[in-house]
C-alpha cells in the first residue's frame, strides 16, 4: 500500500511540474 501511495504522489508531482514547465514555456 505504501508503495502505491508513493507512486501516486510521484505521478501527481510530475504532472504538476510538467504543468508549471508548460506555463513557463508559453511565456
Task: For the chain, state the CA radius of gyration.
Answer: 12
| C-alpha cell read off for 1 | 500500500
Taking the domains of the chain in order of start, what are their residue ranges?
Answer: 1-27
Give the pLDDT confidence score for residue 2 in this predicted structure. 86
Q: Environment class of residue 18 by beta-carbon count within 10 Å: exposed (0-12), middle (13-18) or buried (19+)?
A: exposed
Q: What is the pLDDT of residues 1-27, one digit of tens each?
A: 788 898 999 999 999 999 998 888 876
Largest CA distance in the chain: 40
pTM: 0.50
Amino acid at each position: 500500500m505504501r508503495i502505491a501511495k508513493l507512486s501516486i504522489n510521484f505521478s501527481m508531482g510530475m504532472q504538476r511540474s510538467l504543468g508549471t514547465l508548460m506555463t513557463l514555456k508559453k511565456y
